[in-house]
């Protein structure tokens, strides 16, 4: 059906009986209301003209101006002739910011009042309207004499004389500032709804447990209000512990990971609904029982442990039993300990239970600070003495050369079953009791050895704790080692986190400049995720920025990430800072990153972290007094890279 | 006398005739109102998709027409005045509701082939409501049989403009009928 047929058919429409009835009722209602209004003395047409709009008015400009006035719109009329004559209505005068009659209208004044950036469009609209003998509409800004900017919407029409000759143009304008603001706000809200990611990545994808960091937040929140108990469960597959089952114990780590997954599901079901479960360590699950009285918390802990110990779990296609220990610590409003303290106490408690052959150890209050400190020191020194560290290296791809040119050295801790695990919790504690320097130094020594033994093109990244930055011993030590081993300092990059920089800006800057003097490079790790700001890029001699994996892992499908990463790359490029993207997990991501001009990529798409071969030289090398290995703040997920 | 009877009698009145009794005037207006209510409603619906606002503006329009009736009944075609009034009343209702025609997002609709006159009317109103308001007004009034200079008078715009809008509206409606999204023309 074409348009004419449609119009014709529509015109033949007759009201149905129902509609006719409705029309009659409406007509009666209108009569009633009219009588009521007249009785009250109201006029219903005071805002209207009575003249017949169908009578032909030879003066178009006057007619349109009149209509505009009734609609509270302003008009300007620009007639042609020898000189051309500009006039505008009172309403228009007010839109332009002048009291009616205050200025002599002129085309020049009008154009001057239009915002500079809208000038061309406004002029174009008038010109086009005139040339095409047609109507144009435009929204432009008016800059009033007092400097205030308003948005004006204008219809620009061509006037004709009675015999059809164009005689000028008329603009009908309206102050649409409020409407314009509302429109922009709607657009902004729409865009914001599309771009804001409502789900904070605060749970582990596989176990649905809160991440360690978020779980610590929850403990802190609980500590501020009321009392309760924190339970930390440690699980491992039963059976004789397999010292060095495989080189590096990787198989064991996979088994434990699967076990923790199954245990997590079970524990989440067993505890009360309000309790929170988090992944606090490689083989540890934390349960925060806020407001639970001691007896209930203890009963819950016992029930959970009983179930875990009696149940079989499916791990690597076979049924296994789990060994489990629990440490329970009570807290109350009087507790002075913070979340990490409480976690350390609960961890120490399950270790004590394990040492005594019990399932559960309950602490009715957090340990005294001194005692806790000693316990932590002891754990760290034991780990160092027993050499319970191992180093992994993850390749970094140069996206321009399409070649792996660097490696990041990652620290792994051997757990009680000799499986290598990410040492996030361990490093937290080491930082807390100021034992992190020994660990950082150990990793540095290993990296320098790798450089000394490897090709000159090799380049290693080493993570440093914020604590170590402020210690002069670290750089002195590095300086000594560089000379002793005769290595090129340019083959080493230090990665520091934004959080570390925040800790002490002065120290961090001094460190950064010293690193430069040594000839090493400096990278800012996890950029964009912490409390970082562009300040660091401005004041720190950073060579490289590592964009946090949270912006990279889903970048192919997430517009927000794309926008942010692109702008970080732009900023860095302009400042002479190189960029690395971590968590590059597939080929399309790598292609996208390369397209953005990012220089390096790291992640599963490039290569997983792999154990560094323990060369004879390395293992036999005398390490500095403080100990053994070292480095990365990586949280469980970045076991993924 | 029944209402229907009054209405029937009222049809014998012709504009321009001398006024009769107040009852006769009332009857004459009632008949006018009944005849034209749905036309004005469709005019308004072509510009505004909110039925409540349309009904309020419709009522205000006819209340005003009732008051003006002694005068406008003498016009050759009182509907010119009524459409003009409807335009202002709709504007007022929209202001009161703090709404703006141009902000609303009109979702695309599937166009169903109308099988009778009523459906055709609904289709047409639906299509008009997707045009820029001034184009919809011009096209609607043109289908009501008004000449371009009359439409210019009713809408308070230039004759030239009516001509341009009429063409633009036609073009856009044809595109909509063909299932295309009309491109916003430079004029509107």
Show the tokens assigned to A455: 């090709």
Beta bridge partners of A315: A318
Residue A26 to residue B59, Cβ atoms within 8 A: yes
Of A397, A406, A399, A494, the residue nearest A444 (C-alpha): A494
Closest-CA residue of A relative to B164 is A134
- Residue in A23, A31, A170 nearest the CB of B38: A23
- CB nearest to A31's CB, from B66, B159, B173: B66
Tokens of A173: 């304008």
Question: Is A429 in contact with A376 (CB distance < 8 Å)?
Answer: yes
For residue A601, which of A553, A534, A541 has the smallest C-alpha distance? A553
Same domain, B117 and B179: yes
Q: Are residues B11 and B59 in the same domain?
A: yes
- Find residues 15-54 of chain B whose CB sits inside 8 Å of chain A: 26, 29-30, 33-34, 37-38
Does B59 contact A at CB distance below 8 Å?
yes
Geometric angle at alpha carbon A396, from A442 and A533, rounded to 5°: 80
Residue at which a domain ends, from B84, B104, B124:
B104
Domain co-membership, B153 together with B125: yes
Q: Do A160 and B158 touch (CB under 8 A)?
A: yes
Q: Which residues pair with A581 in a beta bridge?
A: A547, A601
Give the pLDDT confidence score for residue A545 in this predicted structure: 93
**Are B75 and B31 part of one and the same domain?**
yes
Residue B126's nearest CA partner among B178, B59, B176 is B176
Asked if B1 reaches chain A (Cβ–Cβ under 8 Å), the answer is no
What b/e sequence results for A481-503 when a residue is b if at least 16 CB atoms lie within 10 Å of its CB, and e otherwise? Answer: bbeeeebebebbbbbbbbbbbbb
Residue range B67-95: average pLDDT?
A: 93
Burial label, A121 (beta-carbon count in 10 A; 0-12, 13-18, 19+)? middle
Please say whether the structural domain A385-640 has been given the CATH code 2.40.110.10: no
Output the pLDDT for position A622: 35
Backbone dihedral region of A168: left (phi > 0), alpha (psi from -120 to 50 degrees) or beta? left
CA distance A169 to chain B (A): 10
Same structural domain for residues B87 and B172? no
Map out the domains of chain A as residue ranges: 60-181, 212-367, 385-640
**What DSSP line would sit under A338-374, residue for residue?**
-HHHHHHHHHHHHHHHHHHT-SEEEESSPPPHHHHHH
Tokens linked to B52: 């409540």
pLDDT of residue A499: 66
B10 CB within 8 Å of a chain A CB: no
Query: Which residue matches tokens 């706000």?
Result: A185
User: Cα separation of B63 and B185, whole Å?
Assistant: 37
Q: For residue A378, what is the enclosing H or E element?
A: helix A369-385
Contact present, A94 and A187 (Cβ < 8 Å): no
* pLDDT of A379: 86
Query: Cα(A23)–Cα(A27) distance, rounded to whole angstroms?
Result: 6
Indicate the DSSP class of residue A630. Answer: -
Note whether B94 contacts A: Cβ–Cβ < 8 A. no
Using DSSP, state whether A142 is helix, strand or coil: strand
Co-location of B126 and B65 in the same domain:
no
Indicate the residue of A30, A166, A186 with minimum beta-carbon distance to B63.
Answer: A30
Predicted local confidence at residue A396, as pLDDT? 96
B131 closest CA partner among B102, B157, B89, B164: B102
pLDDT at residue B87 greater than cutoff 90: yes
Query: Contact B100/A182, CB-based, under 8 Å?
Result: yes
Q: What is the CATH number of domain A212-367?
A: 3.30.70.270
3-state class (DSSP) for residue A391 = strand
Strands A318-331 and A312-315: antiparallel
Whether chain A has a CB inside 8 Å of the CB on B126: the answer is no
Distance, in Å, from the CA atom of B186 to the CA atom of A636, rounded to the nearest integer, reads 58
User: Given an 8 Å threshold on Cβ–Cβ distance, is B153 in contact with A66?
Assistant: no
Domain span at residue B135?
Answer: 109-188
Domain boundary (B104, B123, B142) is at B104
pLDDT for the residue numbered A628? 33
Question: For residues A486 and A454, what is the distance between their CA atoms, to the nearest angstrom?
Answer: 12
Count CB neighbours of A12 within 10 A: 11
If asked whether residues B92 and B144 sit together in one domain, one would say no
3-state secondary structure of A423: coil
Whether pLDDT at B159 is above 60 = yes
* pLDDT higher than threshold 50 for residue B3: no
Are B64 and A170 within 8 A, CB to CB? no
Q: Specify the pLDDT at position A249.
A: 61
pLDDT digits (tens, 9 = 90+) for B9-27: 444 445 555 556 778 888 9
A448: nearest Cα among A247, A186, A630:
A630
Helices of type H across chain B: 3-10, 22-45, 51-72, 78-96, 117-128, 133-143, 148-155, 159-177
**Rounded Cα gap, residues B57 and B93, in angstroms:** 6
Q: Containing H/E element for A477?
A: helix A472-485
Tell me the CATH number at B140.
1.10.10.10
Alpha-carbon distance of A577 to B117, in angstroms, equals 71
Q: Which superfamily does CATH assign the domain made up of A60-181 to?
A: PAS domain (3.30.450.20)
Partners of B179 in beta bridges: none
Q: Give residue A30's region: left, alpha or beta (phi > 0; psi -120 to 50).
A: alpha
Does residue B188 contact residue B135 with C-beta atoms inside 8 Å? Answer: yes
| Same domain membership, residue B61 and residue B12 | yes
Task: Count CB atoms within 10 A of the CB of residue A305.
Answer: 21
The residue out of B104, B132, B162 marking a domain boundary is: B104
Distance of CA A462 to the CA centre of its chain: 25
Tokens of A276: 């929170």
CA–CA gap between residue A342 and residue A330 (Å, rounded) = 9
Give the CATH number, domain containing residue B96: 1.10.1740
Residues B78 and B61 in one domain: yes
| Euclidean distance between CA atoms A87 and A150, whole angstroms | 20
Q: Which burial class, exposed, middle or buried, applies to A591 when counting CB atoms under 10 A from its CB (0-12, 13-18, 19+)?
A: middle
Q: Where are the beta strands (DSSP E) in A255-308?
A: 276-281, 284-290
Q: Are A473 and A437 in contact (CB under 8 A)?
A: yes
How far CA A97 is from CA of A71, A108, A111, A122, A139, in Å, comes to 19, 16, 14, 18, 17
B182 confidence band (pLDDT: 50, 70, 90): low
Per-residue tokens: B65: 């027409």
Q: In whole angstroms, what is the distance from residue A231 CA to residue A298 CA?
A: 9
Does residue B157 sit in the same domain as residue B98?
Answer: no
Write B97-102 long-range contacts (CB < 8 A, 24+): B97/B50, B97/B53, B99/B50, B99/B53, B100/A179, B100/A182, B101/B47, B101/B48, B101/B133, B102/A179, B102/B133
Between residues A240 and B89, the one the model is more confident about: B89
Q: Which residue of B has its CA nearest to A130?
A: B160
Read off the tokens for B108: 């695309």
Q: What pLDDT, on the 0 to 100 scale, is given for residue B102?
A: 53
Q: Which residue of A has its CA nearest to B104?
A: A183
Q: Which residue has the tokens 């360590």?
A: A281
Using only C-alpha atoms, chain B has a radius of gyration, in whole angstroms, of 18
| Whether pLDDT at B101 is above 70 | no
Q: Which residues contact A295 (CB under 8 A, 6 or more apart)?
A: none
| B82 and B1 together in one domain | yes
Structural domain total, chain B: 2
Q: Output the pTM of the full model.
A: 0.64
Mutate: best of B142, B161, B180, partner A, most A CBs <10 A: B161
Q: Is the dihedral of CA A328, A334, A335, A338 positive or negative?
A: positive
Query: Residue B88 in contact with residue A47, Cβ under 8 Å?
Result: yes
* Residue A428 contacts residue A340 (beta carbons within 8 Å): yes
Give the pLDDT confidence score for residue A630 in this predicted structure.
37
Indicate the range of A289-293, B17-21, B59-63, B129-133 predicted with least confidence.
B17-21
**A179 neighbourhood in chain B, CB within 8 Å:** 100, 102-103
**Pick from A595, A609, A544: which is nearest to A391 by CA?**
A609
Instruction: Give B30's contacts in chain A (Cβ within 8 Å).
Output: 24, 27-28, 31
Rg (CA), chain A: 38
Kindly give the parts of chain A with pLDDT less than 50. Answer: 241-245, 615-641
Q: How far is CA B43 from CA A204, B61, B96, in A?
A: 59, 12, 20
Measured between alpha carbons, how far is A173 from A137 in angstroms, rounded to an integer?
10
Nearest to A136 among B4, B146, B187 (CB): B187
Inspect the interface and report whether the beta carbons of B80 and A31 lie closer than 8 Å.
Answer: no
């Amino acid at each position: 059906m074409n348009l004419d047929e449609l119009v014709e058919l529509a015109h033949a429409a007759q009201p149905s009986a129902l509609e006719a009835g409705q029309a009659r009722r409406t007509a009666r209602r209108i009569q009633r209301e009219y009588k009521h209004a007249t009785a009250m003395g109201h006029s219903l047409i005071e805002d209207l003209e009575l003249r017949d709009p169908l009578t032909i008015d030879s003066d178009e400009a006057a007619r349109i101006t009149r209509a505009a006035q009734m609609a509270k719109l302003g008009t300007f009329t620009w007639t042609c002739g020898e000189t051309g004559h500009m006039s505008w209505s009172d309403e228009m005068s007010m839109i332009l910011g002048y009291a009616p009659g205050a200025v002599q209208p002129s085309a020049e004044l009008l154009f001057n009042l239009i915002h500079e950036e809208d000038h061309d469009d406004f002029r174009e609209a008038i010109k086009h309207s005139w040339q095409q003998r047609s109507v144009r509409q435009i929204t432009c800004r008016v800059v009033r004499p007092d400097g205030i900017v308003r948005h004006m919407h204008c219809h620009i029409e061509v006037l004709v004389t009675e015999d059809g000759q164009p005689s000028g143009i008329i603009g009908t304008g309206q102050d649409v500032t409020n409407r314009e603001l509302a429109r922009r706000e709607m657009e902004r809200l729409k865009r914001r709804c599309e771009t804001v990611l409502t789900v904070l990545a605060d749970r582990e994808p596989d176990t649905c447990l809160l991440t360690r960091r978020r779980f610590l937040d929850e403990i802190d929140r609980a500590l501020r209000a009321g009392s309760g108990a924190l339970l930390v469960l440690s699980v491992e597959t039963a059976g004789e512990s397999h010292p060095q089952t495989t080189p590096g114990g990787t198989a064991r780590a996979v088994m434990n990971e699967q076990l923790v997954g199954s245990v997590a599901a079970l524990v989440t079901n067993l505890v009360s609904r309000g309790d929170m479960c988090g992944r606090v360590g490689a083989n540890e699950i934390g349960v925060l029982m806020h407001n639970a009285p001691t007896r209930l918390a203890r009963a819950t802990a016992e029930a959970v442990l009983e179930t875990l110990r009696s149940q079989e779990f499916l791990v690597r296609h076979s049924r296994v039993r789990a060994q489990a220990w629990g440490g329970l610590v009570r807290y109350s409003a009087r507790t002075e300990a913070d979340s990490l303290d409480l976690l350390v106490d609960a961890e120490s408690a399950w270790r004590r239970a394990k040492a005594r052959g019990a399932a559960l150890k309950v602490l009715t209050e957090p340990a005294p600070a001194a005692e806790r400190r000693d316990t932590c020191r002891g754990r760290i020194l034991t780990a160092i003495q027993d050499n319970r560290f191992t180093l992994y290296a993850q390749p970094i791809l140069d996206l321009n050369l399409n070649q792996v040119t660097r490696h990041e050295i990652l620290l792994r801790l051997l757990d009680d079953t000799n499986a290598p695990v990410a040492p996030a919790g361990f490093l937290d504690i080491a930082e807390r009791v100021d034992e992190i320097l020994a660990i950082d130094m150990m990793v540095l020594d290993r990296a320098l050895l790798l450089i000394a033994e490897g090709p000159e093109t090799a380049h290693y990244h080493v993570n440093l704790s914020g604590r170590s930055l402020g210690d002069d011993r670290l750089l002195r030590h590095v300086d000594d080692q560089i000379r002793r081993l005769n290595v090129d300092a340019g083959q080493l990059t230090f990665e520091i986190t934004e959080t570390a920089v925040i800790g002490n800006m002065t120290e961090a800057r001094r460190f950064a400049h010293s690193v430069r003097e040594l000839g090493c490079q400096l990278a800012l790790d996890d950029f964009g995720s912490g409390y970082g700001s562009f300040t660091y890029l401005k004041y720190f001699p950073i060579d490289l920025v590592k964009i946090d994996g949270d912006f990279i892992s889903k970048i192919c499908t997430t517009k927000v990430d794309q926008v942010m990463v692109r702008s970080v790359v732009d900023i860095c490029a302009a400042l002479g800072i190189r960029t690395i993207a971590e968590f590059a997990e597939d080929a399309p991501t790598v292609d996208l990153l390369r397209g953005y001009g990012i220089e390096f990529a790291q992640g599963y798409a490039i290569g997983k972290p792999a154990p560094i071969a323990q060369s004879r030289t390395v293992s036999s090398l005398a390490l500095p007094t403080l100990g053994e290995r070292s480095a990365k703040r990586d949280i469980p997920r970045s076991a993924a890279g | 006398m029944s209402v229907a009877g009054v209405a029937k009698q009222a049809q014998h009145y012709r504009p321009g005739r001398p006024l009769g009794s107040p009852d006769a005037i009332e009857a004459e207006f009632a008949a006018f109102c009944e005849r034209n209510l749905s036309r004005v409603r469709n005019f308004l619906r072509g510009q505004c998709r909110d039925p409540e606002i349309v009904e309020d503006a419709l009522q205000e329009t006819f209340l005003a027409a009732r008051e003006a009736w002694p005068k406008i009944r003498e016009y050759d075609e009182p509907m010119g005045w009524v459409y003009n009034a409807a335009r202002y009343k709709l504007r007022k209702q929209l202001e009161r509701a703090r709404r703006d025609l141009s902000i609303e997002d009109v979702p695309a609709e599937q166009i169903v082939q109308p099988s009778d006159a009523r459906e055709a009317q609904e289709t047409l109103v639906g299509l008009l409501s997707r045009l820029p308001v001034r184009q919809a007004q011009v096209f609607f009034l043109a289908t009501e049989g008004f000449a371009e200079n009359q439409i210019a008078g009713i809408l308070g715009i230039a004759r030239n403009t009516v001509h341009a809008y009429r063409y633009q509206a036609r073009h856009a409606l044809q595109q909509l009928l063909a299932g295309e999204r009309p491109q916003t023309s430079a004029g509107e």
